[in-house]
Amino acid sequence: MHNPNDITLVLEDEAATLACGARFANILQAGLNIYLHGDLGAGKTTFTRGVLHGLGYIGKVKSPTYTLVESYHFAQFNVYHFDLYRFSDEEEWEAAGFREYFNAQNICMIEWPEKAEHILPKPDIDVKLSLYNTGKPENFGRQVQFVAASILGKQCLDRF
């Protein structure tokens, strides 16, 4: 039996990352704060695209690299997808009203949370995407690990 506090899956290709995101979408509930960890190219945006399509969003999912955040509205909750790679100004965070996005009605999914760890609310779930060497030259595998970081996060991951 797997330990529901910590689930690791291999992602064979981009379609697997999208499918994994869509499956993860089924366990989501309002109020979740989800950190997306992993190097550039690990699959954080692809995974989020899978989540949003799984929730029923049909349009294009843009990487919020320059805008810092993209928002998506669903009947049950709003999803705010952050990419904080270029984030540096903590005053901008307050001025833009980002703090208010973190509440019981919304879900926040955050790429590069490490860039704003002093101001970000704590996560409920850590999603850790990583590249690993398969042993063959220039052949990287990808995997994802889900770690519950709160009671709410654990309740959700138990349904995964």
Binding site for ligand ADP (CB under 6 A): 11, 13-14, 16-17, 38, 40-46, 111, 142
With CB atoms as reference, the residue minimizing the distance to Mg ion is 45
> Could you give the 3-state DSSP secondary structure of residue 143?
strand
Cβ closest to ligand ADP, residue 96 vs residue 132: 132
Token digits for 106? 């919304």
Token digits for 109? 């999914």
Sheet holding 6-11, edge to edge: 6-11, 140-148, 125-133, 33-37, 106-111, 78-83, 69-73
Query: Considering just the CA atoms, what is the radius of gyration of the chain in Å?
Result: 15
CB of 82 to Mg ion, least distance (A): 10
CB of 45 to ligand ADP, least distance (A): 3
* Among 11, 24, 43, 45, contact with Mg ion (rule: CB under 5 A): 45
Cβ closest to ligand ADP, residue 45 vs residue 106: 45
